[in-house]
Structure 1
């Protein structure tokens, strides 16, 4: 696992990419999306960079639209992609819980109204079958399909949001109902509704990040080992897309989290160690490598969300906590606050 110095070095690199206004782009000069920004903020909090993390939270909520949503992508001078992604919008709930599990004096009551508006917006678009559209236009028009990985991430965010509501003593039973309905939908895996992204690694491991087996998950009983051969190559990492020799550090780190949360720590550690191939001396991580040439792709791109995923994976694997990612941060909060 990473040493304390290695964690601090990577977090320092992320903080150096962070803009003065607190936003964290994909890379220096790159665009910003709220989901990956939150991922980087979580990592900063885990590494003890409290001031940078809180600055990141403040900057995120400054972008929130009046209806509680966030746009998909931002530039330093405005909006790049105005459509709304329910997964991106809801992730602020998991981010706030994660930070509160790291920063004891974080003012949750101050930030909760932002999370409440975000989750209320998302839940408003839940369909009768429990699914969420993969994209919503600013006018409220919904894409007919859902995403499996995105749905699993929303599930974690709803779980985190419900726990946060309990912390601030606010009743949000509709979030719990939305969580149960979405879990049942993911379990059913209705191919008519879910976009086929089965060749992407995220659709392999995300059901385990959300602990979908607790809903009965068809074919999920064997855990993430079920399709490991399609994506993981020992010594190289996790393929972003099966059948292609493009290995990405973020997917490798996230897959290691899925194995760890499933109680498969030995496999999780083996997968995690391959992220070292992507690490630079400054603590940054290449987004991806192509084999057998080991050329970086995109060329020499070192991304903040990739570095963040590695820090988070290191924390999860070291914790010994099993379940969903939402359950992980709940247990992490309980341990910190001695509940």
Structure 2
């Protein structure tokens, strides 16, 4: 496989791929990266903001932004923190403050996202030694989420503090886990560690995301359920374009961005940037750039971004500037600038690498009964 890290740069060269003409300059991107770095604690953890809590998904998203700017030492420190805190069953807890667990639930998509971060890191750096060192942690994390997969392919969204698996699955979380499983397969393939069970599980999950909305809790009020099947690389083509068109007016506020919830006058920076990535994946880059430009109203002088804006009250809310909102912004500008590693992990088949991301068993090749997804035979 081509080492994308060989095509990347460090310092200003890396930042130039992240700048967006007419929207964000290299100097502004540098300030945003410095803002994320200022939130990272000496132990490598990246809380939402200084003094705030950490969850493993947003921690990883922020690390990916640091990697994109050539701050590979800081990103590696973030992944080492995850390795040091992994539970024996492969999971992480839902929340930590100053290194102490504050929420003992174990959310599946929080655990899965390590795969996306690690493959992104490897594509940027070509660091074989680090990938090999992290492989046992990734393998254990992947097994944790696959143990939560239901017969229909969807993945139950968490284990409660007592270890009980909840019976329900979330479309947003399962869409994110589909992307994570594809990245985990990419790591396994690269290391020569075939995982046929992962391939089947990936196909079953993708089929559930694309074809069986009834297998997930109804969260249609949330914009993430709208665009995450696309962001997570499961849904493409005409069906994806129709999905965007069907709910555009429900969630998008012209000049401001994407609502978090359909019936609330609140647009959020992270959801807007994630929507921009989904639009890019469908070839709608002009729309994506426009949305990213709207979100600049949330930008602070320190380079970080306010989480959201209540437009009926003309008020910033909540009054916090989160590392993960800044991270989402950097990832959006990276795909729009054609940065190879990021277009690979969010583009799927359309990425830079020769084969994009593995699909395992393609969702279209999975045969499903009323409650069971299996590999077709004959």
TM-score by length of 1: 0.92
Q: 1:79 to 1:329 in 2, by over 3 A?
A: farther
Q: Choose from 165, 174, 188 the match for 1:151.
A: 174
Equivalence for 1:242: 262
Distance 1:309 1:261 in 2: 15
* Residue 207, structure 1, aligned to residue 229, structure 2: yes
Residues 272-320 of structure 1: CA distance to partner in whole angstroms, max 9, x if unpaired? 1111111111111000111133211112x10000000000000012218
Equivalence for 2:198: 175
Distance 1:332 1:25 in 2: 31
The CA deviation at 1:103 is 2.0
Q: 1:323 to 1:225 in 2, by over 3 A?
A: farther
Distance 2:286 2:243 in 1: 14
Distance 1:332 1:140 in 2: 40
Distance 2:26 2:58 in 1: 23
Q: Choose from 92, 97, 120 the match for 2:119.
A: 97
- Quick check: 1:286–1:296 contact (8 Å CA) kept in 2? yes
Equivalence for 2:245: 225
- Quick check: 1:23–1:59 contact (8 Å CA) kept in 2? yes
Aligned residue for 1:79, secondary structure, equals strand
Equivalence for 2:283: 263
Q: 1:329 to 1:312 in 2, by over 3 A?
A: farther
Equivalence for 1:285: 305
Residues 78-127 of structure 1: CA distance to partner in whole angstroms, max 9, x if unpaired? 11111111111110001101111222336211111110110011112211
Q: Choose from 15, 31, 34 the match for 1:9.
A: 31
- Quick check: 2:179–2:233 contact (8 Å CA) kept in 1? no
Distance 1:39 1:176 in 2: 25
Q: Which runs of 5+ in 2 are unaligned?
A: 1-19, 356-378
Equivalence for 1:117: 140
The CA deviation at 1:248 is 0.5
Residues 7-44 of structure 1: CA distance to partner in whole angstroms, max 9, x if unpaired? 22111111111011010001110001000000000000
- Quick check: 2:345–2:351 contact (8 Å CA) kept in 1? no
Residues 175-195 of structure 1: CA distance to partner in whole angstroms, max 9, x if unpaired? 11111000111123342x311
Distance 1:329 1:44 in 2: 25
* Residue 318, structure 1, aligned to residue 337, structure 2: yes
Q: Output aligned runs, 1:33-72, within 5 Å.
A: 33-72=55-94
Equivalence for 2:155: 132
Residues 148-175 of structure 1: CA distance to partner in whole angstroms, max 9, x if unpaired? 1101000000000000101111011111
Q: Which moved more, 1:134-143 or 1:282-291?
A: 134-143
Q: Choose from 18, 43, 46 the match for 1:24.
A: 46
TM-score by length of 2: 0.83
Equivalence for 1:166: 189
Q: Which runs of 5+ in 1 are unaligned?
A: none
The CA deviation at 1:234 is 1.6
The CA deviation at 1:331 is 3.1
Distance 1:283 1:313 in 2: 15
Q: 1:187 to 1:105 in 2, by over 3 A?
A: closer
Distance 1:288 1:329 in 2: 32
Distance 1:294 1:329 in 2: 41
The CA deviation at 1:262 is 1.0
Equivalence for 1:306: 325
Distance 2:55 2:258 in 1: 23
Distance 1:266 1:74 in 2: 38
- Quick check: 1:249–1:286 contact (8 Å CA) kept in 2? yes
Aligned residue for 2:62, secondary structure, equals helix
